Copies of this chain bind each other. A is one copy, B any other.
Amino acid sequence: MVRTVFEKQDVIPLVAEVFRELGYEGASMSAITARTRLSKGSLYHFFPGGKEEMAAEILAHVDGWFVTEMFVPLEQDEPRAAIAQMWEATDAYFRSGRRVCLIGAFALDETRDRFAAPIRLYFQRWIKALEGALVRGGVETARARLLAEEAVVGIQGALTLARALNDDGIFGRTLAQLQARTEASLSLDH
């Protein structure tokens, strides 16, 4: 009998991918067991609280990734470098639009009510971190706010349309345009 022993840190990304593809309601336990090859016994061992705990831990895991890879650099590092890294990390993380934003997907249906706080904090911090980096890069505050909001809005919209249109190009085009616009503001106000 094949028996693979997992640890929780290995399990979270596997389950996360199922939630990402199917949404909270669509990710039934049977779908999760089928796609992760993990038995119910394993899943309820790692997540005694069931689906809700799985989703909460996954949200925290995704949030943690963004915090270390993007938000902290934006908040602390040299702004131009951090912003450039943000665009790269965004493109890599979302696989050029072929991967959906789990937190954005959760925000749309009534799953949002369950996880309203972490969802809101994630997007607030992203916008605030980018806005702060732009300000530190010399952009005027009001414009930085708008630019940051526009960037996160554009990323989310491009993810939706990339899937809706089944178009691999739209995400890259959107990122390029947003990046060009932020860099124009950075050089203008400097």
Contact = CB atoms under 8 A, between A and B. Distances in A.
A30 interface: no
A174 B146 CA distance: 9
B156 A161 contact: yes
B23 A164 contact: no
A160 B165 CA distance: 17
Interface in A109-146: 109-112, 116, 119-120, 122-124, 146
B112 A163 contact: yes
Given A116-B166, A156-B160, A165-B120, A109 B26 contact: yes
B153 A119 contact: no
A149 B156 CA distance: 13
A157 interface: yes
A160 B108 contact: yes
B163 A152 contact: no
Contacts of A155: 157
Contact of A170 (B23, B149, B154, B174): B149
A14 interface: no
A111 to B, nearest CB: 8
A21 B149 CA distance: 24
Contact of A105 (B22, B108, B120, B150): B108
A120 B124 CA distance: 30
Interface in A72-124: 100, 103-105, 107-112, 116, 119-120, 122-124
Contacts of A161: 107, 123, 149, 152-153, 156
A119 to B, nearest CB: 5
User: Which of A149, A150, A160 has the most B CB atoms < 10 Å from its CB?
Assistant: A160
Going nearest first, the 9 A-B pairs with the smallest beta carbon separation are A157-B157, A107-B164, A23-B109, A153-B157, A25-B25, A156-B157, A25-B26, A156-B160, A105-B108
